[in-house]
Amino acid sequence: MSTDISIEDLRKVMVRPDASARARANDIKKAQLFLSDPSVKIVEKIDGTKLTLLRRNNAFDPDDYTKNWYIAYKGNVIYPGEARRLATREEEVRAGSSGTAQYSLVHSHLARVHRDTEQIPPGTEFFLEFVQRKPTISREYPQKHGIFLTLFGPSRYKITGSYLVSNISPDNDESKLEEYALLLGVKTYPVLFEGNLDSLQGLKSGVKSSSIERRAAELDSTLRSAYGESGPDRPLRVVSAIYDLFSDFDTSLSTESDRSPAEGSVFRTSATQALYKALRFDQHDVEHRQSVKQKFRAASQEDEQSYWNSIIKIADEVAEEHAPGQRRNIPEGDLDKILEMLHNECYFDSAISNRLGALNHPKILIQRQEDLFLTTKMRVMKRLEIGTQSGISIGIFVVAGKPVHAGHWQMINLVASECNEALIITSTAGRDELPAGVMIDAWKAVLEPQFHRDFPNATLVISPESPLALAVGKMRELKSMVSKFVFYSDDEDAQGKYSLSKMTDTIRDQSVIEKLEQRAVPRSQTVQISGTDVRKFLSSNDRQSFDRFVPQTLSSEMREKYWKILKGEHGAITDGKKASAIYALFESVRGRTSRSRIAR
């Protein structure tokens, strides 16, 4: 599987209006550290569909791209047979498709550039952002169907049924990213700014986008006022003004005659490689999203339901013809042929087209055909038992990890060894004497590389969102692909916050609940240590105990780096203000622990 690092919102991390005095002081320090970074890079955030492109582990065939590549959406392989003949309707797909027919454009693109990709190593995985027309995408870009390369790296993978299970080790080499984008004939995110943000002059000189230049002119008085502030809140005011600038501007996918707002932007600092985002105010607005979806719905709920009843009826007829019985272990070549037959019938059969055309719905023909194809495909896959009851088990472990210690690592090892795939979820939030962001530094610099070496079948998710909500979302997303989910926790949590009854109330999806198992693991089966204990080691400068209870696969060099990051003494954290903040927090704990007779 992979590493999935959710990006924190810049304003929510650094400019919290309801923060306590202590939290506000910490926000000011974080904002100042961010502004003092020597080279912040800001790119436009594109609101598209996330696709996976994987170079297969086989010899290069210059004449047939399908032999060397997988394309997948949320792990579901999009086979060439699903797209082949739609190349003859490319103009119609570009003009009107609102769904899966647009994936044919990705296949066509890959077919065109394939001969130029020979030097890409087998086993390389790419994450792509595909700009398409879709009811669940909030932005309506004037220029659609662009493909943007966002991440790459070597990957271990396997195909189970029609599902791609991969484990990418991300490569952060930006020059290599640009090189691969050129080979694949795709783009990277448009650069909006690169430079230092600590002064108004630095801001203006680093702008790389005419759209940002126009927006900066509109906000000139706001920016001058924020940068001219001399009080202690200056960093917060400047960050807030920067957020306004880079969250509300015209997208680079606008045209001269049709300007449209961007989704927002992503910031990357050079010192810590920290990521932040700034989003347009309506990006997650429910009414805005509903208005986008309504364009693809019937006028009434009754008409919408009648439309889908008709689609399902036709889909069942087609599925019965092509998959009358149940089969397992169908070779990929046979599956591709079955999907191609479904594709031909749903998109090119005149009788079916006439039936679809007679339905009462605002969708145009190509949109109705892709609704039919996707519905038919799901029914055929179920009949053939592809992607269902596959025997795949996914173990899930929500780890607090403040900080990560040997007990956590041994639990992860248990999850990875007992299940086919492991999903490890942790939060970016701080705790007590570990401010938010410190563990992100520790994960990126020390823990994540070791994680991928130790647990090749595990996915790491680092997110500011609720870990449990993320776990539930992943289970819902993967429920049709696996036979069981195993939720791991210690025996205390298994009776408390992760009890089966509470999990059931949270999930509220019977098909997930039926596949859910709970695995309560006493600490006696891992390592008898807690995060509180390790924080006490840090506060009392007990390096010997710290080394004894960190993940034992870490080298002595990495243990040293881990210690320094947590103590505020490594890399960008050596900044005096941030180090002092961490020191002060440890001092407050030292005072408490000394009264509890914990050795300094």
Query: Per-residue pLDDT tens for 285-300?
Result: 777 667 777 888 888 8
User: What tokens does 434 get?
Assistant: 């570990």
Alpha-carbon span 69 to 116, nearest angstrom: 13
- 588 occurs within a structural domain: yes
- 600 occurs within a structural domain: no
Residue 512: predicted pLDDT: 87
Q: Last residue of a domain, which of 159, 184, 209?
A: 184
Q: Last residue of a domain, which of 138, 167, 184?
A: 184
| Residues 171 and 207 placed together within one structural domain of the fold | no
Alpha-carbon span 42 to 46, nearest angstrom: 13
- 578 occurs within a structural domain: yes
User: What tokens does 470 get?
Assistant: 């993320």
Residue 6: predicted pLDDT: 66
CB of 352 closer than 8 Å to CB of 345: yes
User: What tokens does 564 get?
Assistant: 């320094």
Q: Last residue of a domain, which of 184, 200, 222?
A: 184
Question: Is the predicted pLDDT of residue 352 greater than 50, yes or no?
Answer: yes
Which CATH number belongs to the domain containing residue 452 in this structure? 3.40.50.620
- 1 occurs within a structural domain: no
For strand 69-73 and strand 76-77, is the pairing parallel, antiparallel, or unpaired? Answer: antiparallel
Question: Is the predicted pLDDT of residue 384 greater than 80, yes or no?
Answer: no
Into how many domains does the chain fold?
A: 4
- 292 occurs within a structural domain: no
| Residues 16 and 93 placed together within one structural domain of the fold | no
pTM for the structure as a whole:
0.72
| Residues 152 and 241 placed together within one structural domain of the fold | no
Q: Which of 24-33, 440-449, 557-566, 583-592 has the lowest mean pLDDT?
A: 583-592
| Residues 449 and 563 placed together within one structural domain of the fold | yes
| Residues 458 and 585 placed together within one structural domain of the fold | yes
Question: Is the predicted pLDDT of residue 595 greater than 50, yes or no?
Answer: no
Give me the chain's average pLDDT, please.
86
Question: Is the predicted pLDDT of residue 372 greater than 70, yes or no?
Answer: yes
| Residues 441 and 353 placed together within one structural domain of the fold | no
What is residue 346's three-state secondary structure?
helix
Domain that holds residue 365: 297-383
Strands (DSSP E) contained in 381-444 are 393-399, 421-427
**With bands split at pLDDT 50, 70 and 90, how would you rate the model's confidence at 440?**
confident
Report which of 445, 431, 446 is spatially closest to residue 401, judged by C-alpha positions. Answer: 431
Q: Which of 492-501, 515-524, 586-595 has the lowest mean pLDDT?
A: 586-595
- 4 occurs within a structural domain: no
| Residues 534 and 416 placed together within one structural domain of the fold | yes
| Residues 264 and 321 placed together within one structural domain of the fold | no
| Residues 459 and 542 placed together within one structural domain of the fold | yes
| Residues 422 and 536 placed together within one structural domain of the fold | yes
**Cis preceding linkage at 331, omega within 30:** no
- 389 occurs within a structural domain: no
| Residues 62 and 168 placed together within one structural domain of the fold | yes
| Residues 541 and 400 placed together within one structural domain of the fold | yes
- 2 occurs within a structural domain: no
